[in-house]
Structure 1
Amino acid sequence: MTTPVAASTPSAVLDRASLVLDAFEGPGRLTLAQIVRRTGLPRSSAHRMLERLVHLRWLRRQGHDYELGMRLVELGSLAVHQDRLHRAAMPYLHDLHRATGHVVHLAILDGADVVYLEKIGGRTAAAIPTRVGGRYPAHCTGVGKAILGFSAERPLVTSGAAALSRKTRHSISTSAQLSSDLAKVRADGIAYERGEALAGFGCVAAPIGNFGEVVAAVSLCGPLQHMQLDHRLAAPVRMAAVGIWNNIEGAVRVQPTMQRECRPLLGTSPPTRLRDAGKALTQNLHST
């Protein structure tokens, strides 16, 4: 006979704590009543859990309102900076931003969403509503399509014209449209996004990893009128993705086939290739 797990066991406590913390997904503070509605916990249990989390600095109380605390900020920052993908990517992300002037994103796939691990940019960055730790529907973003296109399994792609959520009128809205777009990503080794996540903004993204081994994606993002959505931005993004993949500790040191267009630069180190691509891009921009 199986003995039921008591509600006071550590696992049950952790489940309730996770439920309470998950209620804070999204901007703004929450009241006790709002947390009770979102979690379904009894009011007394929710109140005890909230006060304990405040004591541990996982939450912060302002009057009758609660918000995420500094301990979560500290732990989240540590998690990102201890991640080997993030460490491997940082020099290439900074080089890519310096070479192009556009906002740079590093993202991974989590379910149907992408989660941003890094965002680097200048004044334009404030106009793009992404943040480290933030989520966005994968099919609406360049980074999401780059990862999905190079993944062996693509759970968002189903038969027929299954509806997908839309962020703008340009967003992909059916599974059939997404399947067609991902076929282009696999053929070109690059993903383009034109106002699908945010009206008036575009993106060029490349997968980090070979087909079936993709671990993340890197992208350039900016106002559509200032973005060259062609080989001029695709080349440096591809080279950044290859540099990151080769720099990940323990990664397979195989040059992805998507780099065929960059063969003249393959004799140099990845950072040098990226700087050379940046110089070529700057010359192209000045000549136009």
Structure 2
Amino acid sequence: MREVVVTTVDRFTVVIDAFDDATVDLTLDQVATRAALPRSTTHRILDHLVRLNWLKRNDRGYGLGVRAMSWGAGDAADLRLREAAAPALYDLQVKTAAVVHLGVLRGRDIVHVDKLGGPAVPTRVGTSAPAGELALGLAVLAALPPEDAEEQTGADLMAIRRAGVVCRRGDYSPGLTSLAAAIDRRASVGIVVPDSVCAQRYQPLVMAAAARTRAALRA
């Protein structure tokens, strides 16, 4: 019995490991090839991992799910980003008393890879949403070359590029305003505050946090 358990864990592990740093989504055949497992075995393991939220399935194949992301299994580059952003995120949270998010673009989704602040905003590390539906995602889309981003959203990305920051209401729930600024073409930093707060006064702080993180990544 012990050998069977170890074998099962080994197979689950090699399937998860197939999703490396550069991976957005993989097809069944790609996972089977990378994991060096039979296609039928790979399919069975993938289905089980999807049910457990370790992986997610979409029309492009399979990708890392909420549980994998919350354990930091998504991307080695995410760890470096979180380390580089940590001082800026902490200072931003102290100065604004807001919920602070660090987001990474994965395919068409923005994934929350770090969060500071209380439960007022229904997110956690690993939560994802279409990039065009959140300020956190729009900030990154606006940093992309126009031909790579325009088709993903109906928002005025040119205006966002000029402003350097996005301000939106209702991203997470009514009564909340979101602000976000791009760190680079992959990541962004944002805050969420009550509508009663004058969010515009925090725009320079959000932009400064993004710039500080960008500088830390280049150091």
Query: What TM-score do the two structures reach when normalised by structure 2?
Result: 0.69
In the alignment, which residue of structure 1 is the partner of 2:202? 233
Are 2:73 and 1:103 aligned?
A: no
Aligned length: 174
Contact 1:112–1:156 at 8 Å: present in 2 too?
A: no
Contact 1:148–1:154 at 8 Å: present in 2 too?
A: no
- Greater radius of gyration (CA): 1
Q: Which amino acid aligns with 1:192?
A: C
Q: CA deviation at 1:199?
A: 1.6
Flag structure 2 segments of 5+ consecutive residues without an equivalent.
Answer: 1-31, 58-66
Q: Which amino acid aligns with 2:90?
A: H
Match of 2:71 among 76, 84, 94: 76
Task: Determine the C-alpha separation between the residues in 1 that align with 2:109 and 2:170.
Answer: 17
Q: CA deviation at 1:195?
A: 1.4
Q: CA deviation at 1:111?
A: 1.9
In the alignment, which residue of structure 2 is the partner of 1:219? 190
Contact 1:80–1:86 at 8 Å: present in 2 too?
A: no
Match of 1:201 among 169, 176, 179: 176
The 3-state SS of whatever aligns with 1:133 is coil
Query: What TM-score do the two structures reach when normalised by structure 1?
Result: 0.53
In the alignment, which residue of structure 1 is the partner of 2:37? 10
Relative to structure 1, is the Cα distance of residues 113 and 77 closer, same or farther in structure 2, using a 3 angstrom cutoff?
closer
Are 2:120 and 1:136 aligned?
A: no
Q: Percent identity over the alignment?
A: 28
Flag structure 1 segments of 5+ consecutive residues without an equivalent.
Answer: 27-37, 39-67, 159-163, 165-174, 254-288
Task: Determine the C-alpha separation between the residues in 2 that align with 1:88 and 1:15.
Answer: 37
Q: How does 1:1-288 map to 2 (within 5 A)?
A: 10=37, 12=39, 13-25=41-53, 76-77=71-72, 83-121=79-117, 125-152=118-145, 155=148, 157-158=150-151, 175=153, 177-178=154-155, 180=156, 182-209=157-184, 214-226=185-197, 228-230=198-200, 232-248=201-217, 251=218
Task: Determine the C-alpha separation between the residues in 2 that align with 1:90 and 1:154.
Answer: 32
Aligned CA RMSD, in angstroms, stands at 3.0
Task: Determine the C-alpha separation between the residues in 1 that align with 2:189 and 2:48.
Answer: 32
